[in-house]
Each structure stands twice: as C-alpha cells, then as structure tokens.
C-alpha cells in the first residue's frame, strides 16, 4: 500500500455532488464519441466466464482470478473476468460484425492481486472495445490512426466538461505523440521501463508507447503481456516488432504518468502460435478460444480497454481513484487520505 506524493494543499475542484454529476457526464459523453468515431455498437458483457475456456485474460500471467463453483453445473468453476480481451473477439464472430465495425461494453472486474495506491483499486471498470479489421490493416499506421481517434474523443470530452464546470480548465495537449518501446529504451538506456514511461509522458503530456510484451534490445520486454491477445511479435513497417501499446497521459495533480488504455491489433494464427511457443504456453492451443482462432472462425481484430475511473480521475483533476469509485481501502490509507483532504467515496 502506498500513496504518491501530492501537493501540500490539495483541494478538490468539485464537491461530492458535483463529482457524481460530472462522472455521469464524462461517461455519457465519452462513450458516445468513442462509439461514433470507431463505429462501435454497445453489447452486454459477462461478469464471469467458465474456467478452462481460455476466455479470461491472464494479464501478466501470474494473477489469479477470483473464482467460485457453480452449484447447478456440477461444480464447474466460474472466474470473475480480469478483462474481456478474448471474449470480445468471440462476440464479434457470434454477432457477425462486419469489417470496419465493432462493439464496446462496460467491463467490471475484480483484481484481488492489485497493490493499492492512488491509481490501483481492487475494482476495475473499463470501456472494453473490439473492431473487425482486415489483413491490410494489421499495421502500425492503422494502430496510430485508431489511437488518434480515441484521443480525440478524450479531448472532446474534456472540452464539453469544461463548458459545464469552468474551474476544470482544459489542460491536455492538442495531439498525442508516438514512440516505440525500443526507441524509448535507446533514449533512456539507464532508466527502468517505468522510469522511461514517466520521463516521456512528462515531456509530451500524452504519448502512446508501441510494442509492449516483446523482447527489446537488452533482452527484456518493456512490460509483460499475455501471449494470446495482443500481437507484440510481428515485425511492423517502422522496423520494430509489435502492433500494440499503452496510452499514457501526464497527471499534473499526481505529478506522474497515468496509463489510461492498453490496446492493440490482436494475434492472428501465426502470431498466436509463435507467442505461445516463445512463452512456453503451447498447451493453450487445446482451449476453446485458441481452437476457434486457429481454425479460422474468429475475425481479425483490434481492441483494448479504456479505464473509466481513471479517465474521470484525470479530467476531474482528482488525486485518488477512490474519489471516483466506491471500493475497499486499508484503514491506514483512509486516514492518510483524510489528512490530505482527499474525500474517498
């Protein structure tokens, strides 16, 4: 448990009532802009999936999902979702979504392994989205264009919010910058990956780091990714590897970088087999999701998750994610927050 350094005199710009109203406005405005820009239709998402199907996201590979036995299904085990990265791709196929269109949903998850701080909670809420693409669109340039569309939706939401609450002055940069994780490593060779993220995000204000999961020039990945959703191993037209990345935005309140979204072009059959092999996860080929992908019954796609509470926290210039969502916090953290004038919901 930890709290990041905060200004000595933090004062929320909105009271509790205004905050709740503003959260509603942000969520309604952003998802309308996101769905229109990316041509997404809303679908209903599961809170849990069956264990052993390969549908749940195993994140970095070591996190255990919250699970429980199902009494009326002979003790079959359900897992609370970590994210819907693979479920969405199956849903694209089940709904017969056409090329150039996609889906989005409200994803609610429990991540019991999280180390609690200003940005991390046991409860995770995201807009999870997925869109059908073709082979020609599996490029870094297409990825960048989608990221620009998402960032434009964020800017529009920020402006709309400021019209209702003048004290929330727009502060995000007009455009987002792009850099590959290998370029970032070469730029800051003596820093850790997290330190590099901080440095580049502070420099630009908003940046998308491409290539998360594959080995860099020093033999280490920038960060870990599960091998069976994002494609982090395919060479791209920029001369690097990977077709995925993280969207980072600088928080002036916290004085640090916030990861707002993780997204990317998803694995095709070749990339899936390669990434399962290099990570020693080849047994997954027998799971439901992986069988469907390998047999060709799932479309090529691009997708990701955008943190709802984090976006609200950023635009409302809040110091703690607990000012946006109701969750469980250690008593010591509650006392610290109270002493810093941070009202946890």
Hey, what are 307's tokens? 């943190």
Cα 187 to Cα 119, 129, 144, 178, 196, distances in angstroms = 27, 32, 21, 14, 9
> What DSSP state is assigned to residue 289?
H
Give the closest residue to 96 by CA, choosing from 147, 43, 140: 43
Specify the 3-state DSSP secondary structure of 230: strand
Give the closest residue to 112 by CA, choosing from 85, 82, 86, 84: 82
Catalytic residue among 130, 198, 246, 323: 246
Q: Where are the strands (E) in 201-255, listed by range?
A: 206-210, 244-251
Rounded Cα distance between 128 and 146, Å, is 14
Contacts of 139 (CB under 8 A, 6+ apart): 236, 237, 243
State the number of CA atoms in the 13 A half-sphere of 335 facing the CB.
4
Q: Is 42 a known active-site residue? A: no
Rounded Cα distance between 217 and 39, Å, is 37
Q: Identify the residue whose tokens are 């701080």.
A: 117
Q: Is 136 a known active-site residue? A: no
What is the sign of the dihedral through the CA atoms of 88, 94, 95 and 100?
positive
Catalytic residue among 83, 121, 126, 308: 126
Catalytic residue among 35, 57, 185, 198: 57
Q: Is 262 a known active-site residue? A: yes
Catalytic residue among 114, 149, 215, 259: 259
Rounded Cα distance between 21 and 11, Å, is 18
String of DSSP letters for 158-212:
HHHHHHH-TTS---S-SS-EEEEHHHHHHHSTTS-HHHHHHHHHHHHSEEEEE--
Catalytic residue among 31, 83, 89, 111: 111
Q: Is 126 a known active-site residue? A: yes
Q: Is 246 a known active-site residue? A: yes
Contacts of 124 (CB under 8 A, 6+ apart): 83, 107, 108, 109, 110, 111, 307
Catalytic residue among 262, 275, 301, 325: 262
Q: Write out the catalytic residue numbers.
A: 57, 111, 126, 246, 259, 262
């Amino acid at each position: 448990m930890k709290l990041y350094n905060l200004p000595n005199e933090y004062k929320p710009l909105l009271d509790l009532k205004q905050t709740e109203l503003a959260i509603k406005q942000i969520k309604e405005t952003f998802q309308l802009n996101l769905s229109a820009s990316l041509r997404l239709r809303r679908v209903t998402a599961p809170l849990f999936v069956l264990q052993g199907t390969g549908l749940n996201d195993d994140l970095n590979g070591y996190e255990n999902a919250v699970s429980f036995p199902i009494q009326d299904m002979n003790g079959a085990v359900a897992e609370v979702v970590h994210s819907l990265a693979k479920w969405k791709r199956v849903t694209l196929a089940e709904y017969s979504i056409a090329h150039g269109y996609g889906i989005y949903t409200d994803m609610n998850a429990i991540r019991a392994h999280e180390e609690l701080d200003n940005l991390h909670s046991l409860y995770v809420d995201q807009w999870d989205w997925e869109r059908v693409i073709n082979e020609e669109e599996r490029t870094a340039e297409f990825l960048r264009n989608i990221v620009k569309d998402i960032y434009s939706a964020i800017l529009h939401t920020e402006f709309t919010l400021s019209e209702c609450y003048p004290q929330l002055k727009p502060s995000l940069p007009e455009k987002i910058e792009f850099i590959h994780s290998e370029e970032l490593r070469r730029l800051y060779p003596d820093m850790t990956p997290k330190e590099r993220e901080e440095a580049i995000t502070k420099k630009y204000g908003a940046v998308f780091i491409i290539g998360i999961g594959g080995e860099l020039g020093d033999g280490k990945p920038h960060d870990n990714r599960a091998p069976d959703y994002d494609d982090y191993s395919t060479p791209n037209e920029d001369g690097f590897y990977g077709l995925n990345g993280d969207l980072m935005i600088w928080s002036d309140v916290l004085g640090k970088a916030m990861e707002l979204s993780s997204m990317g072009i998803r694995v095709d059959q070749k990339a899936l087999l390669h990434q399962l092999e290099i990570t020693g996860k080849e047994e997954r080929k027998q799971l439901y999701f992986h069988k469907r992908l390998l047999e060709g019954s799932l479309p090529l796609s691009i997708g990701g998750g955008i943190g709802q509470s984090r976006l609200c926290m950023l635009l409302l210039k809040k110091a703690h994610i607990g000012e946006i969502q109701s969750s469980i916090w250690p008593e010591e953290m509650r006392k610290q927050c109270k002493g810093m004038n941070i009202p946890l919901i």
